[in-house]
Structure 1
Amino acid sequence: MSKQRRSFSVEFKHDAAALVVDQGYSVAEACKSMGVGETALRRWVDQLREERGGVTPNSKALTAEQQEIQALKARINRLELEKKILKEATALLMAEEHGRRR
């Protein structure tokens, strides 16, 4: 029987990592207190430190600023895709209209 993988909210990860980064807990103490594994907590701590240093993560961001940056990047990507689609549709319509005039 396989062990079910637990998932944690972004807020939980942030709070657990903040125990180590902001409140001076050791990783072992924070793990015991929060009931998570050391490997996971170390990843969250590293991610929190990187985000506070201005690095946008590939996974879900822990800090509000990086979450906003990720949301804005997603919006930019969506708008660029919509622009590309509209450009291609316009080109098709123009080609069709040009073909009718001949």
Structure 2
Amino acid sequence: MAEKRRGFTAEFREGAVRIVTETGKSIPEAAQHFGSNETTLASGVSRARRAGNGRGESEAEELARLRAENTQPRKDDKELGMERDALKRRMALWVK
């Protein structure tokens, strides 16, 4: 007799894919935890990564954001240094 297939909701599948992509848990671990087939979960993860919903793109976006934040203090420090130097020159001229 044929085995009856279990059906998973779209939310369940998306949740399992998010667990793998966001936490770094391996596909076999997640599949065993959720009671699903590894191949099915792997194809879902692959599909999500191709669509841009996977971990790779979010890391790239975060890296770009952090690089932009890192350059901002350097610009601020440079401007403050220039202002300090200008004030020193003004003070020297005022003292004379």
Paired residues for 1:1-102 under 5 Å: 1-52=1-52
Gaps of 5+ in 2: 54-96
Could you say which residue in structure 1 is the equivalent of 2:70? none
Q: What's the secondary structure of 1:4's corresponding residue?
A: coil
For 1:27 and 1:3, the matched residues in 2 are separated by 24
Give how far 1:9 is off. 0.8
Greater Rg by CA: 2
Q: Deviations over 1:32-90 (max 9, x none)?
A: 1111010110111112112226xxxxxxxxxxxxxxxxxxxxxxxxxxxxxxxxxxxxx
Give how far 1:14 is off. 0.5
For 2:10 and 2:51, the matched residues in 1 are separated by 13
Gaps of 5+ in 1: 54-102
Q: What count of residue pairs does the alignment treat as equivalent? A: 53
For 1:28 and 1:9, the matched residues in 2 are separated by 20
For 2:24 and 2:30, the matched residues in 1 are separated by 9
For 2:34 and 2:52, the matched residues in 1 are separated by 22
Amino acid at match of 2:41: L
For 2:33 and 2:43, the matched residues in 1 are separated by 17
TM-score normalised according to structure 1 size: 0.48
Aligned CA RMSD, in angstroms, stands at: 1.2
Q: What is the percent sequence identity of the aligned residues?
A: 34
Amino acid at match of 1:51: A
Q: What's the secondary structure of 1:52's corresponding residue?
A: coil
